[in-house]
Amino acid sequence: RKEVEQDPGPFNVPEGATVAFNCTYSNSASQSFFWYRQDCRKEPKLLMSVYSSGNEDGRFTAQLNRASQYISLLIRDSKLSDSATYLCVVYSGGYNKLIFGAGTRLAVHP
Amino acid sequence: NAGVTQTPKFQVLKTGQSMTLQCAQDMNHNSMYWYRQDPGMGLRLIYYSASEGTTDKGEVPNGYNVSRLNKREFSLRLESAAPSQTSVYFCASSEPGNTEAFFGQGTRLTVV
């Protein structure tokens, strides 16, 4: 079983739609969680950290459920510029390493 | 603002050739990582270094070696390249814990 699993998509949504991605992780001792965004043929960049209480950044909301070991990302009012691959990332403090999910591809169309 | 610098950006190797991918960061980070990315596979961790002088295997270390030369530099070596190592390689650095990881622009390697 992979340490971090995501639905690969693609999610094809119209502009203005709300879309949600989920990610599950296997190591219950994982300490920190992130969502990264990767544009085609570019390096990944941090979108947002995920806090236990949930957090919001404009149109983006991230939530963590430690009991069920999953994190989610909600994008409201999708824009064409949101088209990208979204990577779920887990930091394992015990091993001091970042583990990436395979990514979920989002395509927003007019 | 250099951040994380990888060289080269593109490389074509013949099977059996060796090469070293270079990575340097100027953010004084302790942790550095090497990932490979293949279509549909996401980023898979090859090796990482939690601090200067230490290195550990990741998910896919076979066929690779690494050197943490100093706090700034973390190199990845392919001793005998194979077509299965055709991939995009990313170097990253971070501070341990709940902090952002910064990536280099990637090295696109083709082994023929």
**Interchain proximity A96–B94, CB inside 8 Å:** no
C-alpha span between A101 and A30 (Å, rounded): 14
Name which of A43, A49, A87 is nearest B106 (Cβ-Cβ). Answer: A43
Which pLDDT score is estimated for A95? 67
Q: Is B61 on the interface with A (CB under 8 A)?
A: no
- Residue A97: pLDDT over 90: no
- Residue A11: pLDDT over 90: yes
A28-73 pLDDT tens trace: 888 889 999 999 889 999 999 998 888 999 999 999 999 999 999 9
Which pLDDT score is estimated for A30? 84
Comparing C-alpha atoms, which of A89, A21, A5 is closest to residue B102?
A: A89
B5-31 pLDDT tens trace: 999 999 999 999 999 999 999 999 999
- Partners of residue B105 in chain A, C-beta under 8 Å: 42-43
Share of residues in chain A with pLDDT > 90 (%): 74
Residue with tokens 């230490």: B54
**Interchain proximity A87–B42, CB inside 8 Å:** yes
Which pLDDT score is estimated for A92? 78
Q: Is B89 on the interface with A (CB under 8 A)?
A: no
**Interchain proximity B101–A46, CB inside 8 Å:** yes
- Partners of residue B48 in chain A, C-beta under 8 Å: 96-98
Mean pLDDT estimate for chain A? 92
b/e burial code for range A73-91 (CB count within 10 A of at least 16 → b): bebeebeeebbbbbbbbbb
Query: Token digits for B102?
Result: 């910064």
- Residue B107: pLDDT over 80: yes
B50-104 pLDDT tens trace: 889 999 999 899 999 999 989 999 999 999 999 999 999 999 999 876 678 899 9
B35-54 pLDDT tens trace: 999 987 788 999 999 889 99
C-alpha span between A15 and A21 (Å, rounded): 17
**Interchain proximity A100–B100, CB inside 8 Å:** no
- Residue A110: pLDDT over 70: yes
